[in-house]
Amino acid sequence: MDKRRNKMRKTVRTGMAALFLTMFGFGNLPAAMAHEAGMEGMEQGKDVTIKGELVDSLCYLAMASKGPGHKQCAMDCAKAGIPISIVEEGTGKLYTVLPKEDKTGYPASVIGKMGEKVTLKGDLYENGGNKYVTVESVE
């Protein structure tokens, strides 16, 4: 009975994490809408370099899965559309990684480095306390 209850709790937590990401973890408003959304004072599109590990958001948030032992699962999740994040080295801050342009997926150069420590260069955006970084390059 306890195993079944624990499995149900894990399923509920995973589902809630997925719902949270779906509702709050995606997108940013175009600059033209910033004023209407009360974002006029926010810094948008600042060039940044972040050193850290690329993770799939769902497994990282729900199960703390990361590292080389989770690489294949993370790659499969990214290919399936689970958002990619980078966990900043030293601070543990989590940034949602976004493709450089809309209507595109993650580049193969990003997916192939899941579970690895990388240096990601891109543009930083913040919205509602969430941090996002577009991919310019990843090494």
Identify the band that residue 44 occupies on the pLDDT scale cut at 50, 70 and 90: confident
Based on C-alpha coordinates, what's the Rg of the chain?
16
Q: Determine the average pLDDT of the residues in 78-100.
A: 95
- Domain of 108 in residue numbering reads as 2-138
Mean pLDDT (the chain, rounded): 80
Number of domains in the chain: 1
Please state, as a whole number, how many other Cβ atoms lie within 10 Å of the Cβ of residue 47: 9
Q: Which helix (H) or strand (E) holds 84?
A: strand 84-88
| pTM (global) more than 0.75 | no
What is the dihedral angle through the alpha carbons of 24, 28, 33, 38, rounded to the nearest 10 degrees? 50
What is the dihedral angle through the alpha carbons of 14, 85, 134, 106, rounded to the nearest 10 degrees? -70
Q: What is the pLDDT of residue 29?
A: 39
